[in-house]
Amino acid sequence: SSSRTKTLTLRASPKRIERMLKVVVALCLASASAFSFGSSKTAAPVGVDEMEIGVQAPAGFYDPLGFVAKDGPEAFIRRRAVERKHGRIAMMAITGVLVHNADIEFPGYLSISEDLKFSDVPNGLKGIFTVPAAGLAQILAFAALVELAWWPASNYSGDYGCGFFGTQYEGEEKITKLNAEMANGRLAMLGIAGAMFAEGQTGMTLAEQLDSGKLLLF
């Protein structure tokens, strides 16, 4: 209808928004400090290029269980591709957690037939149980389309011709960007796992933990 706005709905208090912004800044600073890109390179086992994306200071080539020596470089390349994909998904997930916990939501209805608005979906893990079954099926179908056809999982390079917001990089600059993506993905995997475990342990969403000042597991 004409009364519906096309802008995002912001229902959070200024205090909560300020706290959420602090969390975002803290995550960005942690990413920059925890994963620096030094000029030195750590040699990898025979058969694995030492410039393989994700081999970063301070850990260098980190394989304490010896999977590469046991399974060979081809298995390593596949596992690196899986790690990259998990990192990308985790970055989207933690961004969604921060945005939704700031009460920034789409206007209108998630399901008109069930009279369910986007603003009716609760924050945190409870939200997934509010989405209608048809909606979950659509999400899974779209994920299958991406995984099997659009951006196939068989492409271990992770390069689908999209670039970085349309910008293409080459040489050392491209390696730096890919390393940054890998580092941010690793941090995001830790972030989303921590958010889920903390909510499961405390029963409070991230925003509720921030409001109460109790960012603890217990």
pLDDT score for 216: 59
* 89 and 188 Cβ atoms separated by less than 8 Å: no
Query: Tell me: the pLDDT tens digits for 11-61?
Result: 445 555 555 555 444 444 444 333 333 333 333 333 335 446 777 777 777
Confidence of residue 157 (pLDDT cuts 50, 70, 90): confident
Contacts 24+ apart (CB under 8 A), 46-53: 47/72, 47/73, 48/73, 48/76, 51/175, 52/76, 52/77, 52/80, 53/80, 53/84, 53/175, 53/178, 53/179, 53/182
DSSP secondary-structure letter at 124?
A: G
pLDDT score for 89: 93
Distance CA 21, CA 18 (A): 5
pLDDT score for 215: 64
Whether pTM exceeds 0.85 = no
Distance CA 103, CA 120 (A): 11
Question: Which percentage of the chain shows pLDDT scores above 70?
Answer: 74
Query: Tell me: the pLDDT tens digits for 63-74?
Result: 788 888 888 878
Confidence of residue 163 (pLDDT cuts 50, 70, 90): confident
E strand or H helix that includes residue 116: strand 116-117
